Structure formats: C-alpha cells, structure tokens
Amino acid sequence: MESYRTKINVLIVLILFVLAAVGTATNSPRRKLGNKRYKGPCMAVNSIDKCWRCDPNWEKDRQKMAHCALGFGIIAMGGKSGPYYIVTDNSDDDVIDPKPGTLRYGVIQKGPLWIIFAKSMRIKLRRELIVSSHKTIDGRGRYVHITNGAGIKIQCASNVIISNLRIKNIVPTPGGLLRESDDHLGLRSGDEGDAISIFNSHDIWIDHISMSHAADGLIDAVAGSTNITISNCHFTDHEKVMLFGANDHYEADKDMKITLAYNHFGKRLDQRMPRCRFGFFHLVNNDYTHWERYAIGGSSRATIISQGNRFIANDKLLMKEVTYREKSTASVEEWMKWTWISQGDDLENGATFTPSGDQNLLEKIDHLNLIQPEPSSKVGILTRFSGALACKVGRPC
C-alpha cells in the first residue's frame, strides 16, 4: 500500500509539471498558477533556485544561499561566515542612533552579518537605509514589507545580498543627519525615492524581490557600480523601472556589468526594463509581458545581449518595438555601432527587436560569467515563482 501511494504521489508531481509546461508552451502572458496561488509541491524551476530551494531544511543552513548566485554577481557572498542578526523591532524612529534589534542597526554594523527576521513585519523607513559591505538581508520565512517610506541604498559597498522582500510605495525623504555606519554620522541631501539604489558598489545580488510604486526608479545602479545580478524578481505598477548608468558623461560606467535573469516584468510598466549606458548587460530568460513605451533602452555605447527572453507586445498599443535608442545623444550611424543582440528571443503580438553592432560578439566573450540561456519557450515556467516567496520554516521554500 505504501509503495502504491508513493507511485501516486510521483504521478501527481509529473502531471503538475506537465501542466505547467503546457501553460508555458501556450505563451500565455498571465500566470494561472502564480506564486501566491500555487499549492502544489515545490518546483525549483531555474538554475539559481535549484541550488537551494525545495530543501525542507533550508532554514537550518541559510548561508548556503551565498553560493547560489549566477551571472555577474556570482561572487557576492553577503554576510557569509558572519553571525546571524535577528530583526525583532520594525520601528525606524531614530536614524542617528538606531536601536539594536532594528533593521537599520544591523545594516550599518562592521563585518559580515546574515540578517533575518523574527516575525513578519512592515517597516516604514524614515530615511534611506544605508547597507554596508558584507551584509545579507534574508526575508525568507517571513512576510517582510518595506513600504510607505524611504528605500534601500547600497553605497560604496561590496558583497551584499538582498532576498525575499516586498518593496512598494517608496517616497522621497528629506535630507539631514543620518547614521551611515556604526562610527560615522553623515549630513545627506534629500533622497529621490528609489526602491533600491546601488551607488559605486560591486558584487551585489538581488533575488526574489517583489517591487512596485516608487517615486523614482525601482532599481538603479550608477557611479561605477558593477558585478551585479538581479534575478527572480517581479516588477509591476511603475513608470521608469531600472536605470543603469546615471548620465551620458560618466564614462567610468563603461566597466559596469549587470545580469538580469528569470525576472518577470508584469502589469502596468512603462519603460526602462532596463535603460542602460556604457556598460555590458546580459538579459537572459526574462518574461516581458507588459510595456507601454519600450522594454529595453540605452545610449552611450551600451552593450546589450538579450537571450531566451519572451517579449509580448501590448495588443492595445501601437508601440511594438522592444528597443529604444536615445536619439538626442546619437545619430543612426553612431547607434548602429552599439552591439545589441537578440538571440533565441520569443517575440509575440508583433513585437520587434532592432539589433545593431557586432552580431558575432558572443563568440568572443567566453571568459565572461554569462548564464547559459534556456529556450524561450520555457520562460513562463522559469519565471513562475518570481517575486518574494511564501516560505515557511520546516517546509520546502
């Protein structure tokens, strides 16, 4: 009898997997089994998630996740080998002398820390949260919302991992004195209201974040930031989603390298998914189900490699073009030299991708940490569990 039940359970798992694959094959832009509704067995569906998810004992070795990044952020270790710091207090009343137990107190400490949460909580940040080097903010196992206040800033830092948060309704905040580290108090100008801002930082991994509604960008990376992976995130309800490189004059951004993998760009998004300058950007197996003006834009000789993504143009809009070049900064003769490649992408509902530059570049860059793309027909399932996960301690995540 026990053997019979085991066979039945295996058959159910196989049926669920086939149904998910069929849903992907139809290239439906809407998830019938989204992250919040799915009640079946754990499915680690992409190369990053397969490293740690679906282990019922994931909570006993949280720091295993530090070895799971791929792409340009692959060596981001976060707070690996450091002690655990537990956020017990969701307040942010004192930005000059933050209380122990608050998130702000943890992120400004020296040395590696793996930051987790004692319970589910909403945190309204009075001022931008300055995250120092060698930190992991790990929201797995809880519902952690950063909402209705300032966002997160990674400034002049390295080795930072941010995972499994819900970030929305980020607003501008005024300037003034702010604790930037445990031994430094700085006088800062007002913050524009980015959900996550990466400034002059490197070796960063942002994974399984749900993001919407910020006054400025959802994720910006500027001022020479590099070696960044953004994966398994879900973006909705925003105009200017991502900005990589702040302006067309800061040529230090030519060394910027960013990977976008397994993300879902969902409802009510307008543009900048991302908008790039100078650097090298690898977009692999992302799902673009909504855009109004454009999906991918750039200027200043940005190199963009798009592999195995799905682009579904809006039926109700005339704007079917995926790409956008900033015409005010370059002539056609100039931007045709920028290398923008579409390889194995799924272009639906009349979507078009205008390539340019060296279409043989991929044959020359084997030394880079590029994630190997899977077929675009699998994008629906590869991104099915994008966004913050509903993890529970003692169960597969």
CA-nearest of 245, 255, 253, 260 to 326 is 245
Exposed / middle / buried, residue 151 (Cβ in 10 Å: 0-12, 13-18, 19+):
buried
**From the DSSP assignment, how many helices (H) and strands (E) are in the chain?**
4, 31
Angle 214-251-260 from CA coordinates, rounded to 5°: 45
Catalytic residue ranges: 272
DSSP code of 132? P
Residue listed under structure tokens 């039940």: 5
Positive or negative CA dihedral for 9, 13, 16, 18? negative
Distance of CA 332 to the CA centre of its chain: 32
* Single-letter amino acid, residue 387: G
How far apart (Å, rounded) are the C-alpha atoms in residues 153 and 130? Answer: 5
DSSP code of 80? T
Residue listed under structure tokens 């030394």: 367
Helical ranges in the chain per DSSP H:
2-25, 103-107, 332-335, 379-382
How far apart (Å, rounded) are the C-alpha atoms in residues 395 and 387? Answer: 18
- 76: its two tokens: 């981001």
Residues in the chain: 397
**Are 259 and 286 a contacting pair, CB within 8 Å?**
no
